[in-house]
Amino acid sequence: MNTIVEIWNRYHSNLLVFIQKRVNDKAAAEDILHDIFIRVHLRIDTLENRRKIESWLYQITRNAIIDYYRSRKPTEELSEWLVQQQASSEESNRLELSSCLTPMIQLLPEKYRRAVQLSEIEGKTGKEVAEKENISLSGAKSRVQRGRALLKTMLHECCKLEINKMNQIVGYDKKDDDCKLC
């Protein structure tokens, strides 16, 4: 058994099963298997006893699996940390920005101010806003929507907003340090 092709034909199926039991990801297991056979190709001349090729292959396989887990762990921990930091930063920005919204809401015309306060601050549904204001549901939705639009205009006059793909504010900078609202 001298060629890589012969070694592949004889051992690749068993090695793949061995790897899959330890990795639980078929695509990763196949990648590891290919890496193993690259190592075998590069190091076949270091094998002293060709009769011990199977144990040599399994040793290379165990080392490749260890390398796989070593390479993944820091990335996963870093990814989790980055997600947590981003969420924390976004929440902090929202809290800071919400303190600006309170005085801005007070500057809205009365009918929009009440609709926005009921909907956004008190968490009332459109139907509840309509009942409380004695208007139709579409009228309540319209007032909330127009109030939000006015708030958005005020925010844009005061701050430069960073908005994510979901149209949420994830960051902001004041345009002017003299802004009385923020």
The verdict on residue 25 lying in a domain is: yes
How many angstroms separate the CA atoms of 34 and 47, rounded?
19
The verdict on residue 156 lying in a domain is: no
What's the pLDDT score for residue 114? Answer: 95
* pTM for the whole structure: 0.47
How many angstroms separate the CA atoms of 79 and 75, rounded?
6
SS3 181: coil
Per-residue tokens: 80: 């989790």
The verdict on residue 127 lying in a domain is: no
Count structural domains, the chain: 1
Identify the burial level of 169 via C-beta atoms within 10 angstroms of its C-beta, where 0-12 means exposed, 13-18 middle and 19 or more buried: middle
The verdict on residue 59 lying in a domain is: yes
The verdict on residue 96 lying in a domain is: no
Measure CA 14 to chain center: 36
What's the pLDDT score for residue 163? Answer: 75
**108 — alpha (psi -120 to 50), left (phi > 0) or beta?**
beta
Q: In which residue ranges of the chain is pLDDT below 50?
A: 1
Cβ neighbors of 20 (< 8 A, separation 6 or more) are: 26, 29
The verdict on residue 171 lying in a domain is: no
Q: How many alpha carbons lie under 13 Å from residue 106 in its C-beta half-sphere?
A: 6
Domain that holds residue 71: 4-79
The verdict on residue 8 lying in a domain is: yes
Task: Output the domain CATH number for residue 67.
Answer: 1.10.1740
The verdict on residue 43 lying in a domain is: yes
Q: Read out DSSP for 155-173? A: HHHHEEEEE-TTS-EEEEE
How many angstroms separate the CA atoms of 119 and 130, rounded?
10
What's the pLDDT score for residue 3? Answer: 81
